[in-house]
Amino acid sequence: MNKVIINIENIYKYYGEIKALENISFSIGKGELFGLIGPDGGGKTTLIRILTTLLKPTRGNAQINGLDIVKDFKKLRKQIGYMPGRFSLYEDLTVEENLKFFATIFNTSIKENYYLIEDIYTQIEPFKDRRAGKLSGGMKQKLALSCALIHKPDILFLDEPTTGIDAVSRVELWDMLKKLKKQNLTILVSTPYMDEAKLCDRVAFIQKGKIMEINSPLTIIEEFEEPLYSVKGDDFYHLLLELRKMKITKTAFPFGDSIHLTTNRNIDTHELNDMIEKRIGARTETKKINANIEDCFMAKMINNM
Amino acid sequence: MKKDSGNYIVEVENLTKKFGSFIAVDNISFKVKKGEIFGFLGANGAGKTTAMKMLTGLLNPSSGKAIVAGWNVETNPDKVKLNIGYMSQKFSLYDDLRVNENIRLYAGIYGLKRSEIKIKINKLIGELGMENLRKKLVGDLPLGWKQKLAFAISLVHEPPVVFLDEPTSGVDPITRRQFWEMIYKASSEGTTIFVTTHYLDEAEYCTRASIMVDGQIKALDTPENLKNRFEVDNMQEVFVKLARG
């Protein structure tokens, strides 16, 4: 890891009796693209709001760029960019007015930092006189990202930028993040989509306010220990229910057009397939496979139950 | 007049919706067979929500025709609403009512008799494994439970077809799969499922899937055939190829 730019130490956040975050500690290096991966209600937004100085932790602390997130919040706000989960620009201002507004409150101008947002902003510039409220979902996002970058922050926080947007816009957004990373920006991005983990340098799995795992996606996949097979067959639901009844089965979950099966011992693929075919009385296709990130996340969830 | 729907539960012919000069849904035609899990896919702004609103009797078509559960959506929208189940992406139960109270409320709205409602509440709570949560306020349930409950409640009046609008957005990967198992179960019992999603691995679970681009249906087939036709390995790639044009 490069020089540490975000350092989080034992952060807790309680809302009354609800433990939103419990003992969160990790560091992010300069220039890293770091993913916070987990479902809704896991604590992703709370953690991002604490790091962006919008919420105070109940206990613990964190430093960003050497500044304390509570004591130095005013200074820190100039050095970070934040794109919240909900679209929060001014819908009744035009595209250009929104951008100008954010540049002005940070004492800068569009011209001064235009090079930073050029790639993204040129895609919406033809609509610069359109009100933000009238933009499509994808364009709103490009504007929000431009506004979060216009004061040239060192660190960019994005809270679920791909939630509820379609597969094409998701690909575009990740392309933009990759380009920003090349400009040595540190990026912390949260997402409920497991498949996006592989686009990050490192990820943290977060669930029910706790971090279950932090590592590079590749390492996480390599550390998956259980024997894992994919099983395909015609009557999918029936196959799933029957697989669950087999003694050798640890877990069986649908994964696209196949079922991912973990077993409690290593078994030859042909032998396993014969066993399954015998049980359901129909042809199946079984293959030994490598885990993907979602397999890993689910295994961690089960181990933590 | 109720139409005998034969093998189809949804029949759409040249359905169109215009807002001023903007054509949100452009002359779409398709049929959904009884008992199918039908995936209704498309990019943001492709017209899915508008089409869904017409099919569920919430929005009048500009032209064209749709028969859902035997009723014409334009001339009998109230009959359509009574004969379908619907679950929206925004959680639609009452947070300040308990689990059993939410079931009772919706069962009552759909006109179930008092004696039936009692049986229904017990059956539903039993099937969901929510006995311990029966008296809990719905607002205090985790998202995954809420979504499972909302789905079960959308089936409370035993409709022949249920419309699910992004039912699994934001839920954890295990709950997402449990949700799909509920869908399989309902489908195996004969209920037709009409579902939208942004998780394209879920498109693989559908009997057939359609993909909307700019108000039109650009492809409709089994996931297997779609993958073969576009010579790709998964539905994600099919989607990106089609939606990018």
Amino acid A296: pLDDT: 96
Q: How near does any CA of chain A get to the CA of B1, in Å?
A: 37
pLDDT at B194 over 70: yes
Give the residue-averaged pLDDT of A272-288.
96
What is the separation of C-alpha B129 from the centre of its chain, rounded to a whole number of angstroms?
A: 23
What domains sit in chain B, N to C, each tagged with a CATH number?
1-83+163-245 (3.40.50.300), 93-158 (no CATH)
Asked whether the beta carbons of residue A298 and residue B169 sit closer than 8 angstroms, the reply is no
pLDDT at A11 over 80: yes
Q: CB-based contact (8 Å) between A20 and chain B? A: no
What distance in Å separates the CA atoms of residue B226 and residue B244, rounded to the nearest whole number? 16
Asked whether the beta carbons of residue A301 and residue B188 sit closer than 8 angstroms, the reply is no
Amino acid A1: pLDDT: 67
pTM value is 0.87
B9-26 confidence digits (pLDDT tens): 999 999 999 999 999 999
Other Cβ atoms within 10 Å of A301 Cβ, number: 19
What is the separation of C-alpha B189 from the centre of its chain, rounded to a whole number of angstroms?
A: 16
A142-156 confidence digits (pLDDT tens): 999 999 999 999 999
Give the residue-averaged pLDDT of B180-204.
92
Amino acid A170: pLDDT: 86
Asked whether the beta carbons of residue B235 and residue A256 sit closer than 8 angstroms, the reply is yes
Nearest CB to B44 within list A38, A169, A193: A169
Amino acid B3: pLDDT: 66
Amino acid A258: pLDDT: 92
Which of A15, A37, A141, A166 has the highest number of chain B CBs within 10 A, making it the mutation to test binding with B? A166
Q: How near does any CA of chain B get to the CA of A104, in Å?
A: 32
pLDDT at B162 over 80: yes
Amino acid A279: pLDDT: 95
pLDDT band at B171 (very low <50, low <70, confident <90, very high): confident
Nearest CB to B174 within list A167, A171, A298: A298
Strand partners, A190: A36
pLDDT at A87 over 90: no
Amino acid B4: pLDDT: 64
Strand partners, B33: B8
Amino acid A105: pLDDT: 94
Residue-averaged pLDDT of chain B:
92
Q: CB-based contact (8 Å) between B42 and chain A? A: yes
- SS3 call for A158: strand
Give the residue-averaged pLDDT of B39-43.
91
A228-247 confidence digits (pLDDT tens): 999 999 888 899 999 999 99
Contacts of A254 in chain B (CB under 8 A): 177, 180-181, 205
A30-62 confidence digits (pLDDT tens): 999 999 999 888 999 999 999 999 999 999 999
Q: CB-based contact (8 Å) between A305 and chain B? A: no
Nearest CB to B172 within list A39, A168, A169: A39
Nearest CA in chain B to A255: B201
pLDDT at B245 over 70: no
Q: CB-based contact (8 Å) between B240 and chain A? A: yes
Give the residue-averaged pLDDT of B39-58.
91
Q: Scan residues 184-223 of B and list those with Cβ closer than 8 Å to A.
A: 184-185, 187-188, 198-201, 204-205, 223
Asked whether the beta carbons of residue A254 and residue B177 sit closer than 8 angstroms, the reply is yes
Give the residue-averaged pLDDT of B196-206.
90
Nearest CA in chain B to A293: B173
Which of B166, B177, B212 has the highest number of chain A CBs within 10 A, making it the mutation to test binding with A? B177
Residue-averaged pLDDT of chain A:
94
A258, with CB counted inside 10 A (0-12, 13-18, 19+), is buried
Q: Which residues contact A194 (CB under 8 A, 6 or more apart)?
A: A37, A292, A293, A294, A297, B173
Contacts of A136 in chain B (CB under 8 A): 44-45
Nearest CB to B244 within list A39, A168, A236: A168
Q: CB-based contact (8 Å) between B143 and chain A? A: yes
| Percent of chain B at pLDDT exceeding 90 | 79
| Assigned token pair, B64 | 């064209």
- SS3 call for B54: helix
Q: Which residues contact A60 (CB under 8 A, 6 or more apart)?
A: A8, A9, A10, A11, A12, A23, A24, A25
What is the separation of C-alpha A22 from the centre of its chain, rounded to a whole number of angstroms?
A: 19
Amino acid A137: pLDDT: 78
Q: How near does any CA of chain B get to the CA of A286, in Å?
A: 17
What distance in Å separates the CA atoms of residue A31 and residue A6, rounded to the nearest whole number? 11
A89-135 confidence digits (pLDDT tens): 999 999 999 999 999 999 999 999 999 899 899 989 999 999 999 88
Amino acid B1: pLDDT: 64
Q: CB-based contact (8 Å) between B181 and chain A? A: yes
pLDDT at A284 over 90: yes
Q: Are strands B161-165 and B84-87 parallel, antiparallel or unpaired?
A: parallel
Q: How near does any CA of chain B get to the CA of A235, in Å?
A: 10
Q: CB-based contact (8 Å) between B129 and chain A? A: no
Asked whether the beta carbons of residue A167 and residue B43 sit closer than 8 angstroms, the reply is yes
- SS3 call for A275: helix
Helices (H), ranges, chain B:
48-55, 77-82, 99-109, 114-128, 143-154, 173-188, 200-203, 223-230, 235-244
A192-204 confidence digits (pLDDT tens): 989 899 999 999 9
Nearest CB to A41 within list B42, B142, B169: B142
A234, with CB counted inside 10 A (0-12, 13-18, 19+), is exposed
Asked whether the beta carbons of residue B200 and residue A165 sit closer than 8 angstroms, the reply is no
Helix (H) or strand (E) holding B60: none
Q: Which residues contact A217 (CB under 8 A, 6 or more apart)?
A: A197, A198, A200, A202, A203, A293
Amino acid B5: pLDDT: 61
